Amino acid sequence: MRRVVELAAAAAPRACVTAALLLTCIGGDALGRSPWVVERPARRAAVDSATHGAVALLAWTVAAASGDGWRNAGRLAAQAVSCCLLAVLIDLDHFWMAGSLSLKSALSLPTRPPLHATTAIPAVVLLLHLCIRLTNAASLHSLPLLVAVAWTTHHVRDATRRGFWLWPLGSTPPLPYWLYVATEICIPYGILVVRTTLRCEVESANRASIV
């Protein structure tokens, strides 16, 4: 019974942040569709960017806050804010491709900008992971998964409007809304499984080297 209570106490904060993630997806999109926002492109862009950032921040909090993650609140907050900023900065490629800081030019590109190619995500994340392993940069071991959360949560939100851009194959149809929300909720739990698996591998490798 005591174990059940302990498990429930450990799961409760994650359940609360997951609920906040769900509300942020639905609330941010509802605000983005309101007449007060739709009429003004600058407001629309600001609400869209803020929602991208908040979704990434909460998704990383769910993915990273296991056991010691909750105890090391400072590190968790720094990582979550970094994930939020990365998710927001992805849209800068619209301006880079337009060659202008004009919002109108950035939003009327004839093709999608490079950071919106979903096929780039696994390649970049794997490359980062290999570089960090080869250089033994232990302090950066969370970076590939942090980039994966920021980038995938952003692409999944964008996919409700234009689908996924699977360069060089083309684009998928737009993602149904219910599937977008479900995917945003599942991403941090998928990352949590990967983190737990990687940590178990490191611990067993450490044990083997001690023996």
Binding stretches for Zn ion (CB under 5 A): 91, 158
The secondary element (H helix, E strand) that includes residue 56 is helix 41-64
Query: Measured from the CB of residue 61, what is the shortest distance to Zn ion in angstroms?
Result: 21
| Choice between 65 and 97, CB closer to Zn ion | 97
The two structure tokens encoding residue 35 = 């007449």
Residue 174 DSSP one-character state: P
Q: To the nearest whole angstrom, how small is the minimum distance from the Cβ of residue 35 to Zn ion? A: 23
Cβ closest to Zn ion, residue 91 vs residue 191: 91
Q: Which is nearer to Zn ion, 158 or 184 (CB)?
A: 158
Torsion of CA 152, 156, 161, 162, to 10 degrees: 60
Least gap, CB of 206 to Zn ion (angstroms) = 40
Q: How far is it, in rounded angstroms, from Cα 194 to Cα 187?
A: 11
Q: How far is the CB of 116 from Zn ion (least distance, A)?
A: 6
- Return the number of the residue (17 or 151) whose C-beta is nearest Zn ion: 151
Q: Indicate the residue among 59 and 192 with the shorter CB distance to Zn ion.
A: 59
Q: The tokens of 174 are what?
A: 């737009």
Question: Least distance in Å: CB of 93 to Zn ion?
Answer: 8
HSE-CB of 80 using CA atoms within 13 angstroms? 22
- Selection from 55, 17, 63 nearest residue 193 by Cα: 63
Q: CA 50, CA 54: separation in Å to the nearest integer?
A: 6
